[in-house]
Amino acid sequence: MQQYSSDRIRNVVLLSQKGAGKSSVAEAMLFTTGSTSRMGKIEDGNTASDFQPEEVSHHTSLSLAVLACEWKKSKVNLIDVPGDPEFIGEILSGTRVADAAVIVIDAQAGIEVGTELAWKFAGQAELPVMFVLNRMDRENIEFTGVVESLREAFGAVAAVQLPYGSGTGFTGVVDLLGLKGIEFTDTKSKVVDCPAELLDVASAQRDELLDTVVAVDDELTEKYLEDEEITEAEMKAALHTGIRERSVFPLLCMSSTENLGSGEVLNAIVDLLPNAAESLESSNGELSALAFKTIVDPQLGHQTFLKVLSGELSTNTSTHNINKRSDERVGHVLCPVGRQHAEVPAIVAGDICTVAKLSDTLTGDTLVADKNGSAVSGIDFPEPNMALAISPRTKSDVDKLGTALHRMTEEDPTLRVMRDQATGETLLWGMGDSHVNIALEKIQQKFGAQVDVSPPQVPYRETLTKTTTAHGRFKRQSGGHGQFGDVTIVLEPVPGSGDEIEFLDEIRGGAISRNFVPAVEKGVRGAAVDGVLAGFPTAGFRIRLVDGKEHQVDSSDQAFQLAGALAFREGAPEARPTLLEPIHDFHIHVPDAFTGAVIGDLNSRRGRVSGTDQGDAGETIITAEIPLAEAQRYSIDLKQMTRGRGTFGSVFARYDEVPQHLQAAVIAECKKQEV
């Protein structure tokens, strides 16, 4: 691959509803540009983009892929990401390093949930947008209708092409900028006169396009109003400006699987979308490169995707990871085309490459020339919101699972592994059921670790609600030395003290020696770990040690510890023990239309809505408290309720009493599991 200057580079992220055709669009473009010698198919599992085993078996993209190709003396880095929003980590990495987004639309389906999300992701990253109406090889496509609905939803969408027709009729397009026909022949295209039968419609559409385009530039508006001729070059220049400013969004047509129109879309990417030089974050000549994706290959080791944001990155360079404060040696600099790589001597600011075997660098880190460099803003990944408890099936799976989890969390910042201190479970957290299930599949298939999976246990607690005096005596006479300890304690509820257990030594007159007191405390606290209701830790109370007896010879720490434990076990059932459950604060973002349904559902989950606010356009933010026991599957349920449009985050708030009428069921369930 040749070397390109920044102004000859385009970084384009492909976004869409899952399955609209992003990877197929990229595949067609690779073939058209000559990067590949044959076109792969999603169904055959041989596309350049979806090469990971899970992508091949599921016929879908699960991981970001960069596909570099050369077109019209420029380099186009196509960044193909999954359409499934649960793989948001990949999507956010892609939008962070792209300079523009191509939103692919299934021409037959029109605007789908994923199209709205794609628009949102592009907007959040302030990316210029180009729409590509894909699947034009399907029959009966209502081109004008789709364009109208896009305009209604997204504003100044400007069709720069008019398709000859759809299905077998999609044999060419009218280029509305030049008002000429472009016929597709054998995957190449031929410029012809605009077909006579389309001339009227095409002229009317060109006028509409002109209306949108001239609005970008005051001088052009004036010319237009004075009926002066506006040239194709002037239109292109104004379009370019409008696209950069996100005030115009061009639209083109293609069929990726038939490879019709991909050359025209590539032309538009090169001619209309901003180049990397226009999008540089810094004009500083010093090296700074952002790691935006990490692949950990069992054989090849770490492979890091970098976008050079300023300066230049050459092969065999010493760099410094400013986040980790460690030196990193960059060996070969490679331009990725899916799993293939072309080696280059260096890449310039604005370009993307991969490098192998960095030791400390992970996604989000910045590499700079030396210690004086500064970090660029990384990627803001959301917190995962769904967990499953996992455990190795056999001893031989323990190490394999450990390796798998370590590598997979390095690769995917939205995947987390945490040990729940309260339940002792290992929890695998992800962005939803598909995300977590794909991770489980990788654990088993890629790393060969068999795991058992279950919903996470709710870390219930117990507490005491009535002050009770309890007595514990431990006495054993066996041969020589005996064991003796005798204590009286008062168990006193301390509402609102959370997981605290307070201990007060109120022994007066030396009923038991000072040095046995810590043993009593240890005994009571130890017994409280297994609550008397259902075995959950008991807390939120005070232990007052008020009396006791000791034996001159037979008393020991051990005997007093056991006496303390016995006193707790005797007293706690009398102290009206009750069950507590974790309550989480939820922030739920839903389109306005779903607010009622989501709030209704919260009520059925014992949720308490504390407020509703207006979020981004057309979106409501609901804040609510929900008991964790009712929200374990919320990510799946919210997705269903809102047809994939809702998102949420949650944090632990506090423990609350489980309503009395529900306690018996929880206790029975725990007893069943113990058996």
Ligand X SMILES: Nc1nc2c(ncn2[C@@H]2O[C@H](COP(=O)(O)OP(=O)(O)OP(=O)(O)O)[C@@H](O)[C@H]2O)c(=O)[nH]1
What is the binding site for ligand X (CB under 6 A)?
16, 18-24, 41-43, 60-61, 82-83, 134-135, 137-138, 255-257
Q: At 666, which amino acid appears? A: V
**Distance in angstroms (rounded) separating the CA atoms of residues 501 and 568:** 13
In the bound complex, what is the minimum distance in angstroms from residue 109's beta carbon to ligand X? 11
Q: Does 257 bind Mg ion (CB under 5 A)?
A: no
- What is the DSSP code (8-state) at residue 143? H
Binding site partner of 33, from Mg ion, ligand X, none, Cβ cut-off 5-8 A by kind: none
Binding site partner of 256, from Mg ion, ligand X, none, Cβ cut-off 5-8 A by kind: ligand X
In the bound complex, what is the minimum distance in angstroms from residue 134's beta carbon to ligand X? 5
Binding site partner of 20, from ligand X, Mg ion, none, Cβ cut-off 5-8 A by kind: ligand X
User: 367 or 438, CB closer to Mg ion?
Assistant: 438
Q: What are phi and psi of 59, to 5 degrees?
A: 55, 45
Binding site partner of 21, from Mg ion, ligand X, none, Cβ cut-off 5-8 A by kind: ligand X
User: 255 or 620, CB closer to ligand X?
Assistant: 255
In the bound complex, what is the minimum distance in angstroms from residue 177's beta carbon to ligand X? 23
CB atoms within 10 A of CB 494: 15
Q: Does 16 bind Mg ion (CB under 5 A)?
A: no
CB atoms within 10 A of CB 374: 11
User: 22 or 542, CB closer to ligand X?
Assistant: 22
In the bound complex, what is the minimum distance in angstroms from residue 135's beta carbon to ligand X? 4
Binding site partner of 19, from ligand X, Mg ion, none, Cβ cut-off 5-8 A by kind: ligand X
For residue 382, give both structure tokens. 């959301």
In the bound complex, what is the minimum distance in angstroms from residue 188's beta carbon to ligand X? 18
Dihedral angle of Cα 385, 386, 389, 394, to the nearest 10 degrees: -110
User: 43 or 380, CB closer to ligand X?
Assistant: 43
User: 295 or 458, CB closer to ligand X?
Assistant: 295
Backbone CA torsion sign across 490, 491, 496, 502 = positive
Binding site partner of 564, from Mg ion, ligand X, none, Cβ cut-off 5-8 A by kind: none
User: 43 or 229, CB closer to ligand X?
Assistant: 43
Binding site partner of 663, from Mg ion, ligand X, none, Cβ cut-off 5-8 A by kind: none
CB atoms within 10 A of CB 599: 17
User: 113 or 546, CB closer to ligand X?
Assistant: 113
Q: Going residue by residue from 31 to 70, which x/- string records binding to Mg ion, judged by CB under 5 A?
A: ------------------------------x---------
Q: How many residues bind Mg ion (CB under 5 A)?
A: 3
In the bound complex, what is the minimum distance in angstroms from residue 269's beta carbon to Mg ion? 18
Return the residues of window 163-182 that contact Mg ion according to CB under 5 A.
Answer: none
In the complex, residue closest to ligand X by CB: 83
Reduced to 3 states (helix: H, G, I; strand: E, B; else coil), residue 75 is strand
**Distance in angstroms (rounded) separating the CA atoms of residues 33 and 38:** 11
Nearest to 80 by CA among 93, 165, 71: 93
List residues bridging with 65 in a β-sheet. Answer: 80
In the bound complex, what is the minimum distance in angstroms from residue 528's beta carbon to Mg ion? 54
Helices then strands (H, E): number in the chain?
16, 34
User: 83 or 89, CB closer to ligand X?
Assistant: 83
CB atoms within 10 A of CB 185: 10
Backbone CA torsion sign across 551, 554, 559, 560 = positive
Q: What are phi and psi of 507, to 5 degrees?
A: -65, 125
- Strand (E) positions, 7-57? 9-16
For residue 229, give both structure tokens. 């001729």
**Distance in angstroms (rounded) separating the CA atoms of residues 188 and 90:** 33
User: 61 or 650, CB closer to ligand X?
Assistant: 61
In the bound complex, what is the minimum distance in angstroms from residue 86's beta carbon to ligand X? 11
In the bound complex, what is the minimum distance in angstroms from residue 67's beta carbon to Mg ion? 11
In the bound complex, what is the minimum distance in angstroms from residue 107's beta carbon to ligand X? 8
User: 49 or 319, CB closer to ligand X?
Assistant: 49
Binding site partner of 319, from ligand X, Mg ion, none, Cβ cut-off 5-8 A by kind: none
User: 23 or 363, CB closer to Mg ion?
Assistant: 23
User: 432 or 577, CB closer to ligand X?
Assistant: 432
**Distance in angstroms (rounded) separating the CA atoms of residues 484 and 477:** 9
Binding site partner of 42, from Mg ion, ligand X, none, Cβ cut-off 5-8 A by kind: ligand X
Q: Of the listed pieces 19-27, 219-227, 549-557, 650-658, which binds Mg ion according to CB under 5 A?
A: 19-27
Rounded to 10°, the helix 433-445/395-411 angle is 130
In the bound complex, what is the minimum distance in angstroms from residue 341's beta carbon to ligand X? 21
Binding site partner of 24, from ligand X, Mg ion, none, Cβ cut-off 5-8 A by kind: ligand X
In the bound complex, what is the minimum distance in angstroms from residue 91's beta carbon to Mg ion? 11
Decide if 303 contacts 361 (C-beta within 8 A): no
Rounded to 10°, the helix 88-97/113-124 angle is 40
Three-state secondary structure along 587-656? EEEEEHHHHHHHHHHHHHCCCEEEEEEECCCCEEEEEEEEEHHHCCCHHHHHHHHCCCCCEEEEEEEEEE
In the bound complex, what is the minimum distance in angstroms from residue 648's beta carbon to ligand X? 22
Q: Of the listed pieces 20-28, 136-144, 312-320, 345-353, which binds Mg ion according to CB under 5 A?
A: 20-28
Binding site partner of 261, from ligand X, Mg ion, none, Cβ cut-off 5-8 A by kind: none
Q: What string of DSSP letters covers 254-272?
A: -BTTTTBSHHHHHHHHHHH
Largest CA distance in the chain: 117
Binding site partner of 642, from ligand X, Mg ion, none, Cβ cut-off 5-8 A by kind: none
Q: Does 23 bind Mg ion (CB under 5 A)?
A: yes
List residues bridging with 102 in a β-sheet. Answer: 14, 130
In the block, which residue shows the tokens 């979308």?
273
User: 22 or 442, CB closer to ligand X?
Assistant: 22
In order of 56, 118, 124, the CA distances from 616 in angstroms are 37, 15, 11
In the block, which residue shows the tokens 């260096």?
346
Q: Residue numbers of the site for Mg ion (CB under 5 A)?
A: 22-23, 61
